[in-house]
Amino acid sequence: MKNDTLAVIGTRISEIRRYHKVTQESLADLLGISPKHISHVKNATSSLSLKNLIQFCTIFDCSLDYIVLGKQSNKALAELPDEIVKI
């Protein structure tokens, strides 16, 4: 996977985690991985496994399509500009 793709995925994961007020350490505990690995995901030097991505999406009730591709699963949200959706 290209580094810029990892950066975008890491950013989406970080945004969702912060929105839910979950620390990197707490997320690591929830996923059964090290806090250092979460930091590497955020900094685009590593990625979560598919198993951990699915677990993340289940915990935070978000779409894997959104995390990986940036696609909103809600049709109404998908039609809005990204800047508005983030608000």
Q: Which residues of 37-50 are buried (b: 16+ CB within 10 A; e: fewer)?
A: bbebbbebeebbee
What pTM did the predictor assign?
Answer: 0.77
Question: What tokens appear for 28 in the block?
Answer: 């690591």
Burial class (CB in 10 A: 0-12, 13-18, 19+), 60: middle
| pLDDT for the residue numbered 79 | 60
| pLDDT for the residue numbered 49 | 96
> CA-to-CA distance for 23 and 76, rounded, in angstroms?
30
Question: What tokens appear for 53 in the block?
Answer: 């991505």
34-40 long-range contacts, CB within 8 A, separation 24+: none
Least confident window among 10-24, 31-45, 73-87: 73-87
Least confident window among 11-15, 44-48, 64-68, 74-78: 74-78
Confidence of residue 2 (pLDDT cuts 50, 70, 90): low
Task: Pick the closest to residue 56 from 73, 33, 75, 40 (CA basis).
Answer: 33
pLDDT digits (tens, 9 = 90+) for 71-85: 766 555 556 666 665
pLDDT digits (tens, 9 = 90+) for 55-71: 999 999 999 999 998 87
